[in-house]
Homo-oligomer: A and B are copies of this chain.
Amino acid sequence: MNKRIFPLLFLTVCFFSRTTAQQKVLVFQSDFGLKDGAVAAMKGVAVGVLPDLRIYDLTHEIPAFDIWEAAYRLHQSAPFWPAGTVFVSVVDPGVGSERKAVVMKSKSGHFFVTPDNGTLTLVADALGIMEVRIIDERRNRLPNSSGSYTFHGRDVFAYTAARLASGAITFAEVGPVTDGIVRLNYQKPSISNGVIQGTVDILDVQYGNVWTNIDSKLVRSAGIQAGDLLNVSITEGATERYRGTVLFGNTFADVAQGKPVAYLNSLMNFSLAINMGNFAKEFGVASGPAWRVSVQKHNK
């Protein structure tokens, strides 16, 4: 091989390692819905930065202004994306006000570009914080957009995320390091005398499954295993919404159609479903801190 090719090869390798470090993968989340041109405007800005970015959607159906759900949906899917993926989450009721615009790099190597309003709470806990930087909007803002105050999703977040994912800027060039992030308060599950207490974190909305914050470790520490019967109750504040004895199965089909079943969901958290039915609808269950779940082994 011609020796002169070596420097070129080296440069090529550097080029690729630099760009593939962040995979050029960009994932958008928002509460914009899909009915108008807002999501497409963000993507257009990103494509304008680099046409060969690989652009995906997490969801745009976060309920308007619902920061908790934004935090949860990131938490639900980010770990399944390769390190280097850049997530943009825009649920931003404080747009244009003093809330910070940040990029968090997690210990897992993912990047999260978002208003610092609590959206990062769950991924910070689950994936670990490597470093958080404030977006320096003097340098990292869509050119000629300074007159626009209400669409930082397009003018700041999409633009900066695309430049980061494409390698046009490094993480350090985002802006100065900041200490910590805004965190939402959220309850941790507990166990006492074999009774697990937790909350309904969120609904698996499409099927009406009830996802709690009780993880598999707690379930095991209560001595519960597949095939056991469990006493389960769900209360909203002081009102009981559900009380029953339920099989703890591996999957929905472990019970007859129309019957309730407890199981570990795809995030390995304790959950409740009706096989081929809708548990949340049938029992009027919703999610949030007021929705408490109690689980213990049924003594035969």
Which residues on A are within 8 Å of B, measured CB to CB? 1, 4, 20, 23-25, 27, 31-45, 47-48, 51-52, 54-61, 64-65, 72-78, 80-82, 85, 93-97, 147-151, 154-155, 202, 204-207, 216, 250-254, 263-266, 268, 275-276
Which B residues are in CB contact (< 8 Å) with A78? 44
Task: Name the residue of chain B whose CB is nearest to the CB of A76.
Answer: B37
* Beyond A27-B44, A36-B59, 17 extra complex contacts between A and B, CB < 8 Å: A20-B51, A23-B51, A34-B60, A35-B59, A35-B61, A37-B76, A38-B206, A39-B59, A40-B57, A40-B58, A40-B77, A44-B80, A44-B81, A147-B216, A147-B268, A150-B252, A150-B266
* Chain B residues closer than 8 Å to A35, beta-carbon distance: 59, 61, 205-206
Give the complex CA separation of A58 and B111 in angstroms: 25
Q: Which residues of B contact A204 (CB under 8 A)?
A: 36, 38
Give, as a whole number of angstroms, the nearest-CB distance from A157 to chain B: 13
* Residues in B whose Cβ lies below 8 Å from that of A80: 40-42, 44-45, 48, 154
B residues near A59, Cβ cutoff 8 Å: 34-37, 39-40
Closest to A80 in B: B44
With A36-B73, A76-B41, A94-B253 given, is the CB distance from A48 to B276 under 8 Å? no
